[in-house]
Amino acid sequence: MKRIVRVSSDLRSNLVAYLDGELDEESSRQVEMLLAQSEVARHDVEMLSRSFDLLDMLPRENASENFKQETMASVAALDSKIPLSQQQWLHSLRKGLVLLCCVVVLGLAGFGGYVAGQQLWPTETEEALEELPLFQNLHHYREVGEVEFLKQLQQQNLESPLQGDYSAEAAPAEEEEQQ
């Protein structure tokens, strides 16, 4: 018994894809079910296939015998007038310049870092110079012994041995020690 099944537009477009082997498994199964049920669909598929096969009758036009030679001659002509932007040496020069710029930038960054480091972190000599008064008055601090005592002196408005120039005081002491 013949069964007439209406072919939806989606399924219709799937018929071509089915013939071309471009459908996934599920869609292929749907098309096969349709083909099993619908004589109209079977007829459509056959006509689609046979009309496509007729295209084989179209002549396949080949290139003329000298096509390759002419093309290669055009290529040779092209090579002789390569624009400046495509010259190999320009590409190399560009790469070299980029590399040089990178080196310069890195060098500047390194120098800047060194200078900044010098400013931010003093050397041992600078640290020693900064602490020179401390070393010069070290014998006073040893005699005082405690910080609390110095604070008491400060509170009594007495001149702290930390203030002022102690180099003059230190010198006689050293002389006394030598004697």
Partner 1 sequence: MVTTSSLDLKYLKDPDVRLMLRVRDGDEKAFSQLVENYQDRIVSIFSHILSDHEAAEDLAQEAFLRVYRTRRGYQPTAKFSTYIFHISNNLASNTRRKKKRQKEVPMPAGKTTTFGVRPEEELAVEKSALMPVRQLSREELREQVRQSLESLSDREKTAILLHKFEGMSYQDIGVAMEMTDAAVKSLLARTREKLRVILEPLIK
Interacting residue ranges for partner 1, rule: CB under 8 A: 12-13, 15-17, 20, 22, 44, 47-48, 50-52, 54-55, 57-64, 67-68, 70-72, 74-75, 78, 86
Query: In angstroms, what CA-CA distances link 172 with 50, 160, 177?
Result: 124, 19, 9
Which lies closer to partner 1 via its Cβ, residue 29 or residue 151? Answer: 29
Which lies closer to partner 1 via its Cβ, residue 6 or residue 142? Answer: 6
CB of 121 to partner 1, least distance (A): 42
CB of 33 to partner 1, least distance (A): 19
12 CB neighbour count, 10 Å cutoff: 13
Contacts of 92 (CB under 8 A, 6+ apart): none
Give the tokens for residue 141: 């601090």
User: Which candidate, 149, 144, 140, 129, places its Cα nearest to that of 174?
Assistant: 140
Secondary structure of residue 87 in the 3-state scheme: coil
CB of 25 to partner 1, least distance (A): 16
CB of 56 to partner 1, least distance (A): 8
Which lies closer to partner 1 via its Cβ, residue 1 or residue 57? Answer: 57
State the Cα–Cα distance between residues 150 and 158, nearest whole angstrom.
9
Which lies closer to partner 1 via its Cβ, residue 20 or residue 126? Answer: 20
